[in-house]
Structure 1
Amino acid sequence: MTSFTYRGREFKALRKLKGKEETFEAVSKRIHDIGITPANWNYREFYKVASENGAGEIDLFEMDKITVIPAEYSLFQYK
């Protein structure tokens, strides 16, 4: 999958959530705020950069060997 840099961090596109795993309830059970959100986080800007690198439709990314899911105000670990 494609990789790109955002706010000095390297992100690797993993996959899009599918079916029942993409519901709010399912996602909320698997996310954890572990303080990994880059400074000056901007969800729209992140996905603009992701789109420019062929990952605009991706939900899960790898950053620092951690699977993450972007949200509007934070970047969450996804387990």
Structure 2
Amino acid sequence: MSLRAMHLNVPRAVRVGHSVTLGCQYDLEGAALYSVKWYRDQVEFYRFVPKEEPPIRVFPIDGIRVDIFWEMAGRKF
């Protein structure tokens, strides 16, 4: 299995108090997605594992706020 055509959409900098949307586009070539994890300075702040309950977990980090309701809008698990 391999991950193909990965593209990350992550800005270099964000003004304090402003919102940003992080993006990750990938092609699993027919395989099932195991997980997507986001880190800042080697500290995990977001995890999506479709087969876990709940599938989305957010870990508190100063300066980062994840809008979990926006994230789940329209998503099918």
TM-score, scaled relative to structure 1: 0.23
Q: Of Structure 1 and Structure 2, which has the larger fraction of its residues in helix?
A: 1
| Structure with the larger RCO, 1 or 2 (CA within 8 Å, 6+ apart) | 1
TM-score, scaled relative to structure 2: 0.24
Structure (1 or 2) with the larger CA radius of gyration: 2
